[in-house]
Structure 1
């Protein structure tokens, strides 16, 4: 690849002075994963409603001793 062609390709990715990338702000910034997850959780029911997809139901398990429903509070894996 010629030197000038390489430099032209690289300079296509440089923003003009005074402009900043939009992904550096708001919920698209690198350390905003919790906010992005909240937005996705809020929008998921709306998307399911628009597309006509039934929401996923939580699997229910019953206790073998008392026959009441149990709730999963976490999953652990051996190291």
Structure 2
């Protein structure tokens, strides 16, 4: 089944985003000059400046981001 991008987000500081439905695919781009930390589901990751996280992970309904620089992202879900 084809996945569609939805629930786009961007920011320059801390953010918690509640999703409309449970998702399993997440894309985050760290456009800043400092590390970005995010939690989706029960796992926390750190992205270095310029890194891209584009993975299928355990289902999650919210994303918590800790950052001091710019970032952007979205989730993918069934069409």
Common topology (TM > 0.5): no
The alignment's TM-score, normalised by the length of structure 1, stands at 0.17
Query: Which has more strand, going by share of residues?
Result: 2
Query: Which has more helix, going by share of residues?
Result: 1
Which has the bigger relative contact order, CA under 8 A and spacing at least 6?
Answer: 2
Q: Larger C-alpha radius of gyration, 1 or 2?
A: 1
The alignment's TM-score, normalised by the length of structure 2, stands at 0.17
